[in-house]
Amino acid sequence: MNGRRVVITGMGALTPIGSTHTDFWEAARRGECGVAPITSYDTSAQKVTLAAEVRIDTETVVPPAEARKMDRFTLLAVIAAREALRDSGITSDNTDLTRAGVLIASGIGGLTTITREHTRGEERGYDRVSPFFIPMSIANMAAGRVAIESGFLGSCSCVVTACAGGANAIGEGARMIRHGYTDVMLCGGAEACVSPLAVGGFTSMKALHEGSDPARASIPFDKNRSGFVLGEGAGMLMLEDYNHAIARGAVIYAELAGFGDSCDAYHITAPDPSADGAVRAIENAIRDAGLSPADIGYINAHGTSTPLNDKCEALAIRRVFGEGCAVPVSSTKSMTGHRLGAAGAVEAIICVNAVREGYIPPNINLVERDPECDLNIITATGKTTDIKYALSNSLGFGGHNAALIIARYDK
């Protein structure tokens, strides 16, 4: 990136396969599957019965009286942000909090609160809905709550770019630091919409897998993929100006080296079959990092397990990196399902650990490779290899494309 260097000094994650960033990474290394029958409501009247839910007793982390004032997506964001803040060591003693900001994405926001309060209004009268209904449901409230808890007084905002949101939040947060507007940005995404209405909406679009076998549900790049598995969770990164981090003696995990975004301007849900927009986002990120495609050692694919997305993303990767692309690729959505606006942030954490440890987590449960997705996909047990730069792709409804380059930190 041109301008000030941006480093990553804290992480927090809440996912279907791990409730801290370290547990999440260890589970991803092992290739654990977080897809299972839905437990949060009765699915007997619906076609889709599987999801990737976060298994955590939130009452052990946030007091019930406080949790009742938050939608689940905000609750997950707050828990992950607390971890990232603790992990970073940022305090008012070592940081000017007027130069510390928050940027958190959500694709849908408080949909579960909206549906619950609508039902209550129908039954009791709309003047009897919860007084917390509006602040619980609006998509910016995760960022607002995290700012209140952290005391960060700088820029506080919310990115809403569907499934590219988490990556956009991190990229835009990095730009804030790079251009000198802030020294610290707590960035990421949160999503929690495993509910009858959301599942029904995606089902009617023919977007979700409708089978009952978790091992054959979220199978990116498999010839027999038939839709994504809805997931939930949150991922947070503490981004920091390099000199600020060094001055306070911070532990530096990795560097946010590049960010690129673009728009297909093509269709409200379908990706452009030419993959032009995804290609531009990837090329913009590589250019922003001052690299060439040959420098990339791992690609964490968006890889949702839908027929069109995987095919178009594979085409974009081949167009940037060449036919017969040798760069290792995996989609960790095979383990976690698709967390919509949180996906890009959670997958950035995967890339941070991949460059730190030289390990590529697997694209699990891939049985029959789709010849139209001809990539160097890492399956089964993952792969140990030297990685200096990792690319993370995120693509969203509305034609949003975002790409991040995570670099190994070399002093």
**Paired tokens of 408:** 């190994």
163 is annotated as an active-site residue = yes
Question: 177-217 pLDDT, tens per residue?
Answer: 999 999 999 999 999 999 999 999 999 999 999 999 999 99
Position 198 scores a pLDDT of: 98
- Catalytic one among 209, 244, 302, 400? 302
Residues 33 and 140 in one domain: yes
- For residue 193, the one-letter residue type is C
Q: How far apart are CA 161 and CA 75, in angstroms?
A: 20
Question: Among all chains, which residue has been given the structure tokens 């290394």?
Answer: 29
- For residue 381, the one-letter residue type is T
Q: How far apart are CA 16 and CA 336, in angstroms?
A: 6
Single out the residue of 407, 149, 124, 375 nearest to residue 254, CA to CA: 407
Residue 135, domain member (yes or no):
yes
Quote the crossing angle between the two packed helices 141-150 and 72-88, to the nearest 10°.
40
362 touches 381 (CB < 8 A): yes
Residue 80, domain member (yes or no):
yes
312 is annotated as an active-site residue = no
Residue 274, domain member (yes or no):
yes
Residues 265 and 242 in one domain: no
Q: What are phi and psi of 247, to 5 degrees?
A: -60, -30
170 touches 239 (CB < 8 A): yes
Position 411 scores a pLDDT of: 75
241 touches 5 (CB < 8 A): yes
Q: CATH number, domain at 36?
A: 3.40.47.10
Residues contacting 53, CB < 8 A, separation 6+: 16, 34, 36, 38, 39, 40, 194, 231, 232
Question: 262-277 pLDDT, tens per residue?
Answer: 999 999 999 999 999 9
Average pLDDT score, the chain? 97
Residues 325 and 215 in one domain: no
Residues 53 and 106 in one domain: yes
Element (H, E) at 26: helix 21-30
HEC profile of 137-157: HCCCHHHHHHHHHHCCCCCEE
Handedness of CA 151, 157, 161, 167 (dihedral sign): negative
- Catalytic one among 21, 209, 244, 338? 338
Residues 65 and 204 in one domain: yes
Residues 145 and 289 in one domain: no
Of the pLDDT bands very low, low, confident and very high (cuts 50, 70, 90), residue 311 is very high
Residues 241 and 272 in one domain: no
Q: How far apart are CA 282 and CA 404, in angstroms?
A: 8
Residues 88 and 196 in one domain: yes
Position 280 scores a pLDDT of: 98
For the entire predicted model, the pTM comes to: 0.97
Question: 101-130 pLDDT, tens per residue?
Answer: 999 999 999 999 999 999 999 999 999 999
Residue 84, domain member (yes or no):
yes
Position 1 scores a pLDDT of: 57
Over residues 331-338, mean pLDDT: 98
193 is annotated as an active-site residue = no
What is the count of structural domains for the chain? 2
78 touches 142 (CB < 8 A): yes
Position 191 scores a pLDDT of: 98
Question: Which residue range(s) make up the domain with 185?
Answer: 7-247
The DSSP output letter for 392 is: E
Residue 1, domain member (yes or no):
no
Position 59 scores a pLDDT of: 79
Residue 253, domain member (yes or no):
no
Question: 53-110 pLDDT, tens per residue?
Answer: 999 988 788 999 999 999 999 999 999 999 999 999 999 999 999 999 999 999 999 9
- Catalytic one among 33, 156, 158, 163? 163
pLDDT above 90 (res 254): yes
Please report, rounded to a whole number, the percentage of residues in the chain having pLDDT higher than 90.
96
Position 380 scores a pLDDT of: 84
Residues 185 and 272 in one domain: no
Residues 266 and 325 in one domain: yes
Of 221, 247, 273, the residue that ends a domain is 247
Residues 131 and 105 in one domain: yes
Residues 337 and 222 in one domain: no
Of 247, 271, 304, the residue that ends a domain is 247
